[in-house]
């Protein structure tokens, strides 16, 4: 089992480089944006990307998850070429049709996306650029999935790094150099998306048979189409709060909340890297006799890593963001500091999102995608109702807590609907001990005597000792740790 876990960790790390790089642009540019955009402008560009994220569900219509499953489980090269060719041709046609529809109705859609825009003259342009981003990103998805399905994490990571480099340079040039404000952000993303797709085209050589297999696409759509409402519900959980805040509290608070949320997305980067490696991993190991036990251990180790990162980032976020660094100044312009209040809550929310990803094993292996809309729909309904009820009076803190509860609700509901179809002996006692230890360390570090960075650093390094005293580690793990310490 240890060798398989090492392989998962290695691939997660490599995929993580690419995924972290693609998401890192968010963190690199947030400080830059905070000095070149007002909170209201940042809130507006967030709403345009909200539109792109929601529209993506209709561009994919479940083909993304269906492609990964059918490609990975197809053992013959010719069968894989048929899956790839059929999927790509279907996606090209549907994406082109959808983009034309969006471009024709761009101005009307723009009025729905942003209630009172700071730059009303460019609303139509922003939506049209969004349609272009959607087109290229959708087509690029399948070569990226092909790289994952053929276990080529290095190629995956390098292509992601290329996308980041182009996006970063163009953002700095367009926003700071040319003064294009939020329009420059959209142009930078559009160009980067187009170039990334062109770079990925050679990946398809030798892995595609141009044509259209009706049975293949029919099976894939049946498997993947339930993911459309699922994806939409997930987007509601993640993004609807921004729109509610804009309507009831204004673009200013929406921008502050988006900045704090964006920093909290660091955990989403970690869980995303895990997800990229996890799906091909469990599909390729599903026939092992000890697969359920292996999958259970993965969840435990995932929680060890993410809860430690949660403590680290929560303890030191203020220090890193608010310190005036030589030659740079503060990482975040002081106008955006109020948004930091939601940061730890969003971090915790995305840990639950990773738990949800881990629990997807039964969904893929037993073809239970039809159950997902129920799970995500309940959480999305909760999100909408309570955002409308609480955000007008309480504001962005209510939105953050609602997001956390919704992600936790998703994980619990998913476990309930798949546990009988594909039983996995999760290590609930160990997970309970880990949660208790993290909660105790966090609570103590939040008390006034322990709020200095030095005391918090001390509290962080005591976590393994606390787990040891709670008898969290089993004998094989203790032996591994003793051996590692002797070698060092």
Confidence of residue 132 (pLDDT cuts 50, 70, 90): very high
The string of pLDDT tens digits covering residues 234-247 is: 888 877 888 888 88
Confidence of residue 293 (pLDDT cuts 50, 70, 90): confident
Report the share of the chain in percent with pLDDT over 70. Answer: 89
- 78 touches 148 (CB < 8 A): no
Whether the full predicted model's pTM is greater than 0.75, yes or no, is no
For residue 233, give the nearest of 412, 23, 407, 354 by alpha carbon: 407
CA 235/CA 456 separation, integer angstroms: 35
pLDDT category of residue 198 using cuts at 50, 70 and 90: very high
Looking at residue 5, its pLDDT comes to 46
Distance separating the N- and C-terminal Cα atoms of the chain: 23
- CA 304 – CA 435 distance, rounded (Å): 9
Tokens of residue 183, six digits: 């329009």
pLDDT of residue 385: 93
Cα-to-chain-centroid distance, residue 22: 11
Per residue in 6-18, pLDDT tens?
544 554 455 555 5
Between residues 413 and 270, the one the model is more confident about? 413
Q: Using the Cα atoms of residue 12, residue 17, residue 18 and residue 24 in order, give the sign of their dihedral.
A: positive
Question: Looking at residues 425-440, what average pLDDT do you find?
Answer: 92
Q: How far apart (Å, rounded) are the C-alpha atoms in residues 386 and 390?
A: 6
Per residue in 151-172, pLDDT tens?
Answer: 676 777 788 888 888 988 999 9
Interatomic CA distance for residues 102 and 145, integer angstroms: 26
- Any idea where the domains of the chain sit in the sequence? 2-426
| Confidence band, pLDDT 50/70/90 cuts, at residue 487 | low
Query: How far is residue 381 from each of residues 234, 246, 377, measured CA to CA in Å?
Result: 11, 19, 6
pLDDT value of position 363: 82
Per-residue pLDDT band for 69 (boundaries 50, 70, 90) equals confident
Per-residue pLDDT, 208: 72
Q: Can you give the pLDDT at residue 481?
A: 62
Q: Is the pLDDT of residue 476 over 60?
A: yes
């Amino acid at each position: 089992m240890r060798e398989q876990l090492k392989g998962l960790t290695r691939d997660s790390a490599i995929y993580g480089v690419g995924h972290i790089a693609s998401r890192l642009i968010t963190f690199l540019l947030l400080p830059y944006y905070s000095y070149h955009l007002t909170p209201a402008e940042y809130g507006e560009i967030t709403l345009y990307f909200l539109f792109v994220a929601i529209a993506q569900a209709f561009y994919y219509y479940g083909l993304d998850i269906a492609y990964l499953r059918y490609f990975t489980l197809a053992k013959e090269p010719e069968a894989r070429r048929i899956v790839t060719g059929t999927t790509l041709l279907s996606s090209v046609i549907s994406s082109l049709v959808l983009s034309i529809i969006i471009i024709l109705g761009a101005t009307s859609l723009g009025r729905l996306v942003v209630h009172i825009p700071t730059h009303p003259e460019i609303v139509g342009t922003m939506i049209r650029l969004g349609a272009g981003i959607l087109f290229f990103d959708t087509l690029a998805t399948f070569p990226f999935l092909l790289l994952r399905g053929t276990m080529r994490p290095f190629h995956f990571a390098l292509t992601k790094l290329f996308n980041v480099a182009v996006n970063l340079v163009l953002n700095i040039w367009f926003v700071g150099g040319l003064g294009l404000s939020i329009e420059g952000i959209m142009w930078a993303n559009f160009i980067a998306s187009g170039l990334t797709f062109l770079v990925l085209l050679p990946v398809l050589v030798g892995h595609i048979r141009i044509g259209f297999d009706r049975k293949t696409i029919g099976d894939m759509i049946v498997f993947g189409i339930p993911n459309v409402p699922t994806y939409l519900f997930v987007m509601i959980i993640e993004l609807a709060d921004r729109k509610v805040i804009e309507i009831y509290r204004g673009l200013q608070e929406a921008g502050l909340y988006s900045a704090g949320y964006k920093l909290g997305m660091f955990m989403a980067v970690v869980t995303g890297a895990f997800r990229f490696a996890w799906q091909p991993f469990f599909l390729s190991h599903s026939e092992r006799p000890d697969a359920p036990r292996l999958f259970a251990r993965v969840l435990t180790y995932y929680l060890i890593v993410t809860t430690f990162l949660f403590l680290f980032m929560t303890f030191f976020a203020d220090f890193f963001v608010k310190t005036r660094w030589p030659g740079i100044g503060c990482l975040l312009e002081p106008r955006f500091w109020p948004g930091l209040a939601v940061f730890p809550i969003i971090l915790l929310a995305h840990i639950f999102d990773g738990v949800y990803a881990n629990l997807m094993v039964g969904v893929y292996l037993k073809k239970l995608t039809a159950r997902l809309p129920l799970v995500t729909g309940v959480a999305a309904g909760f999100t909408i109702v309570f955002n409308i009820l609480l955000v007008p009076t309480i504001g962005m803190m209510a939105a953050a807590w609602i997001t956390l509860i919704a992600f936790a609700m998703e994980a619990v509901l998913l476990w309930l609907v798949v546990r009988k179809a594909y039983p996995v002996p999760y290590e609930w006692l160990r997970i309970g001990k880990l949660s208790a230890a993290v909660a105790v360390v966090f609570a103590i570090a939040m008390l006034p005597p322990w709020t200095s960075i030095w005391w918090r650093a001390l509290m962080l390094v005591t976590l393994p000792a606390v787990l040891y005293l709670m008898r969290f580690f089993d004998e094989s793990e203790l032996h591994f740790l003793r051996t590692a310490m002797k070698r060092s």
